[in-house]
């Protein structure tokens, strides 16, 4: 196989991801088939796991560390509904200064651990006028805005051991998992605040201007956030099934006369309000998939 040119923006070799995965496999007896990535303020999902093995990111060879309030920074292995799971309590964002390959580093490690399904969660701003704060949106699609600007995590040398050069993204969010999520949400009493829509990722960390929100609405986005999409692209590249869930933590401002201002405190407050519903939903989902 031809080596990546030294100028390649792809920072990690197969062997580096493998080193991390092998270290984790040597340090836990769990063999997870399901990975959960916790969004801002949603780290409580990891507390659902029983028989836990917890690894702070700084102890894991080659793992990045997370710096955002609401993201604890540890990998939690454990059992939920009789299934082995691994949970990222704290994700990495492009705006923290990590390059796009580092943001997605854990996803390839999950693949090498033997994970088959990834449940990705996030806190997001509601663009769709009919959405309310506290709604849960099942992702049916995304808009990869940083990807439009060349920040796609698959740019650079393609290692065929992870996946093909030109992966399809029209089926990024698994249809069957979405159906299970809808059904489970109904059963768990979440049907009254359930949505299904399109998530748009922007690089952040500044929240959107009013004109930007109007533009995203015109593009057909229902929610906006600063994460998730790079992780999903890398997960799909290596054939993992993906379910995405956004919690609408705030409504974006689209009115020049509004006194509302997006802020991370509101985001975290809303996650606290919905944390039990989300935990119930994810827990039962895992039993149903
Ligand atoms: O996407 P998660 O990590 O849930 O967090 C969301 O909340 C933060 C902004 O309040 C941003 O990081 C945004 O992406």
Sequence-distant (≥ 6) Cβ neighbours of residue 257 within 8 angstroms: none
Any ligand 1 atom below 6 A from CB of 225 = yes
* CB of 207 closer than 8 Å to CB of 149: no
Is the pTM here over 0.90, yes or no? yes
Choose the residue to mutate in 38, 226, 230, 251 for probing ligand 1, maximizing ligand atoms within 8 Å of C-beta.
Answer: 226
> Mind listing the pLDDT tens digit of every residue in the chain (289 residues)?
444 444 445 789 999 999 999 999 999 999 999 999 999 878 888 988 999 999 999 999 999 887 776 667 999 999 999 999 999 999 999 999 999 999 999 999 999 999 999 999 999 999 999 999 999 999 999 999 999 999 999 999 999 999 999 999 999 999 999 999 999 999 999 999 999 999 999 999 999 999 999 999 999 999 999 999 999 999 999 999 999 999 999 999 999 999 989 899 888 889 899 999 999 999 999 999 8
* CB of 131 closer than 8 Å to CB of 137: yes
Choose the residue to mutate in 88, 267, 274 for probing ligand 1, maximizing ligand atoms within 8 Å of C-beta.
Answer: 267
- Domains of the chain, start order: 19-287 (3.40.50.1580)
Q: What are phi and psi of 36, to 5 degrees?
A: -120, 130
* CB of 95 closer than 8 Å to CB of 203: yes
Number of Cβ within 10 Å of residue 205's Cβ equals 12
Using CA atoms, how far apart are residues 187 and 154, in angstroms rounded to an integer? 38
């Amino acid at each position: 196989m031809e080596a990546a040119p030294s100028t390649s923006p792809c920072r990690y070799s197969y062997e580096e991801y493998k080193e991390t995965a092998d270290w984790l496999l040597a340090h836990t007896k769990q063999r997870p088939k399901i990975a959960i990535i916790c969004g801002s303020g949603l780290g409580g999902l990891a507390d659902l796991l029983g028989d836990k093995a917890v690894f702070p990111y700084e102890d894991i060879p080659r793992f990045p560390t997370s710096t955002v309030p609401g993201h604890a920074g540890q990998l939690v292995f454990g059992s939920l509904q009789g299934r082995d799971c691994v949970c990222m309590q704290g994700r990495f964002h492009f705006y923290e200064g990590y390059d796009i390959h580092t943001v997605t580093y854990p996803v390839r490690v999950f693949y090498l651990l033997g994970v088959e399904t990834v449940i990705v969660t996030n806190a997001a701003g509601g663009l769709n006028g009919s959405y309310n704060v506290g709604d849960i949106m099942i992702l049916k699609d995304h808009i990869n805005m940083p990807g439009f600007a060349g920040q796609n995590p698959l740019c650079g040398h393609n290692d065929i051991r992870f996946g093909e050069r030109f992966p399809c993204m029209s089926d990024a969010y698994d249809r069957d998992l979405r159906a299970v999520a809808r059904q489970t949400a109904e059963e768990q009493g979440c049907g009254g605040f359930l949505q299904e829509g399109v998530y748009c990722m922007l690089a952040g960390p500044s929240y959107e201007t009013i004109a930007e929100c109007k533009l995203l609405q015109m593009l057909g986005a229902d929610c906006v956030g600063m994460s998730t999409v790079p992780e999903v692209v890398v997960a799909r590249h290596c054939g993992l099934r993906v379910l995405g869930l956004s919690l609408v933590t705030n409504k974006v401002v689209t009115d020049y006369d509004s006194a509302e201002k997006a802020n991370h405190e509101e985001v975290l407050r809303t996650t606290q309000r919905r944390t039990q519903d989300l935990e119930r939903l994810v827990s039962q989902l895992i039993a149903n998939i």
